[in-house]
Amino acid sequence: MSRLDAKVAIITGGAGGIGIAAARRFIAEGAEVLLVDIDEEALIEVCEGIGSNRLSYTVADVASVEDNRRMVEVAEQRYGGVDILLANAGILGDTETIEHYDVARLDQVLAVNIKGPFLGLQAVIPAMRRRKGGSVVITSSIVGVKGAARLAPYVTSKHAVMGLMRSAARELAGDGIRVNTVNPSQTETRMMRSLEQGMNPDDPQRAQALMTANIPLQRYGQPEDVASVMLFLASDDASFITGSSYMADGGSSA
């Protein structure tokens, strides 16, 4: 048997690098997958690229109560239930000091990165109860356990979902619903290109070199590295794991 046979997974941020890698791994392990993102063109491209009859998509804004409820309804209608929620959608925001940070941008970062996982959990709990349990994996970050200059809203949001995860793990354990986080460090995705540009607009490669030098394994993570941890937490191999944070950070938090 594959590790996710007969499981149904919702993956938010499904058009991003980690979401795509997770979709590929989950499908390879037997899951049916509903990809969720706000960008329909990107979702279509991902689904065509993967080319599986066990993959489909729906467009949704994770900061919307109605959209979260609808994505769960779509998963139940298409696949019969929901066993896994990978609350992976997130945005970096601006690389800016606290003093000069735009408040509207702050609201956007907190809405997607905090409200999104909260509403996803809220929407999926009844569906998971109907399946007698499930696994929720929230994408946090290495900055969910430490600080970073000029990224205060993003860092704040990633700390916040750690608290959400721990509270939900205790609250939902009696329902057989496990809740954990994966905390990547720098990973080869579109978000990293934005961060490098924000850190050093004149020489983003220099920013990349400096960040790489601070990672003990001396490289950025690949989306597949993060997806492997997500697969473990989503599967029954992690049946006794809830309320935990898994660092996928090349040793950066050691």
The catalytic residue positions are: 154
Q: Sort strands 134-139 and 177-184 into parallel, antiparallel or unpaired.
A: parallel
d(CA 100, CA 206): 24
d(CA 243, CA 129): 18
Strand partners, 181: 138, 245
The count of other CB atoms within 10 Å of the CB of residue 16 is 24
Angle of the 17-28 helix axis to the 40-50 helix axis, nearest 10: 40
| DSSP sequence for 91-106 | -------TTT--HHHH
| 53 Cβ contact partners less than 8 Å away, ≥ 6 residues apart | none
CA 78, 79, 81 angle in degrees (round to 5)?
Answer: 115
SS3 152: helix
Of 181, 6, 19, 140, the residue nearest 83 (C-alpha): 6
d(CA 123, CA 118): 9
